[in-house]
């Protein structure tokens, strides 16, 4: 009986009708596999996660500090654990950023970085539209390593909403005068206030080398001075006995909702002599379809993706 069934099947298989049935079955099977492996689009939300992370430059040989090759995996894991939309980095050398991107290919880097600040972003979620680099603090005479802040304007792919992200590494008090440091914050804030896309929110990240009660940070929050724009903390160090020790901060525009904030990893657990700080925020003050004035957020008119606009941004 088995011999007869096999024989009859082989004979039937050679007919045109069998050929059509077999081809159709094969195609529908492929379609089923494709559909099962396809996930539905992620619904856009107002939430984004931002991180500020001084990763400690590779060449820095602090007493007792592990070498980059011995700590880089912890840096990778710290970023991957929170999967932030944006990471403002400080003290990053070329080899270090290349290693991070190789280990975490979901991220790309804003071009033009200096060791005083860089930005990583999730490129499958965000498009880099514009970016720039501005010197904002000169070192004291005799030291040629001026400091720059880097910024990027990003468009969310699913909504076309825009956001500006800044990263900076302010020199500490032994490297620049207080007046120069305050002037640097004034320059960065004025740069943000004059942004081309006024409806886009702004996020500041950085190693400010300043505690929350310093004149440097009080300038940004509008407690002193007369800046055209003020910021609020999305993350700031919690004071201990009235004293703040934190110098890594994330700031946003007033009205931003902070859903969660804290340390992604503490000192050395992060792979660095700085903790990695993060904030989950709602930086937009509108629903997903409109803006406070009722307008629709238009796409930027950059001449090409990633084009630098040093003046009109």
The answer on pLDDT for 128 being more than 90 is yes
For the segment 114-135, the average pLDDT, to the nearest whole number, is 92
Q: Residues of the chain with pLDDT > 90: what percent?
A: 49
pLDDT tens-digit map of 218-277: 999 999 988 999 999 999 865 555 555 589 999 999 999 999 999 999 888 999 989 999
pLDDT category of residue 12 using cuts at 50, 70 and 90: very low
For the segment 140-162, the average pLDDT, to the nearest whole number, is 82
Q: Residues of the chain with pLDDT > 70: what percent?
A: 70
pLDDT category of residue 2 using cuts at 50, 70 and 90: very low
pLDDT, residue 174, reads 72
pLDDT, residue 14, reads 57
Q: Give the relative orientation of helices 94-103 and 68-82 as an angle to the nearest 10 degrees.
A: 50
The answer on pLDDT for 52 being more than 80 is yes
209: left (phi over 0), alpha (psi -120 to 50) or beta: left
pLDDT tens-digit map of 64-79: 778 899 999 999 999 9
pLDDT, residue 43, reads 57
Average pLDDT, the chain: 78
The answer on pLDDT for 303 being more than 50 is no
Domains of the chain plus CATH, in order, are 2-36 (no CATH), 48-308 (3.60.10.10)
pLDDT, residue 72, reads 95
The answer on pLDDT for 212 being more than 80 is yes
Highest mean pLDDT out of 5-9, 117-121, 141-145: 117-121
pLDDT, residue 256, reads 93
* Entry pTM: 0.77
Question: Which of 168, 188, 185, 193 is CA-nearest to residue 254?
Answer: 193
Residues with Cβ < 8 Å from 112, sequence gap 6 or more?
131, 132, 133, 150, 308
pLDDT tens-digit map of 80-119: 999 999 999 999 887 899 999 999 999 999 998 876 789 9
């Amino acid at each position: 009986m088995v011999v007869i069934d096999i024989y009859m099947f082989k004979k039937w298989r050679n007919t045109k009708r069998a050929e059509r049935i077999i081809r159709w079955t094969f195609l529908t099977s492929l379609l089923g596999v494709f559909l099962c492996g396809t996930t539905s689009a992620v619904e856009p939300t107002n939430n984004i996660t931002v991180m500020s992370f001084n990763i400690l430059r590779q060449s820095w040989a602090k007493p007792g500090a592990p070498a980059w090759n011995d700590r880089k995996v912890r840096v990778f894991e710290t970023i991957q654990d929170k999967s932030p939309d944006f990471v403002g980095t400080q003290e990053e050398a070329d080899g270090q950023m290349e290693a991070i991107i190789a280990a975490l290919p979901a991220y790309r880097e804003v071009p033009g970085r200096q060791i005083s600040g860089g930005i990583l972003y999730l490129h499958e979620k965000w498009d880099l539209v514009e970016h720039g680099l501005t010197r904002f603090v000169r070192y004291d005479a005799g030291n040629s390593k001026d400091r720059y802040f880097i910024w990027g304007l990003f468009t969310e792919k699913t909504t076309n909403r825009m956001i500006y992200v800044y990263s900076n590494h302010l020199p500490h008090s032994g490297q620049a005068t207080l007046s120069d440091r305050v002037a640097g914050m004034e320059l960065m804030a004025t740069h943000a206030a004059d942004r081309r896309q006024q409806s886009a929110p702004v996020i500041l990240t950085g190693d400010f080398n300043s505690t929350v009660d310093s004149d440097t940070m009080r300038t940004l929050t509008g407690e002193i001075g007369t800046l055209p724009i003020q910021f609020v903390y999305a993350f700031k160090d919690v004071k201990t006995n009235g004293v703040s020790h934190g110098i890594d901060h994330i700031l946003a525009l007033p009205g931003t909702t902070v859903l969660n904030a804290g340390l992604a990893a503490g000192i050395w657990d992060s792979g660095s002599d700085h903790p990695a700080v993060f904030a989950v925020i709602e930086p937009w003050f509108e629903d997903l379809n409109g803006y406070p004035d009722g307008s629709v957020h238009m796409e930027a008119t950059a001449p090409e993706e990633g084009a630098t606009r040093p003046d009109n941004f």
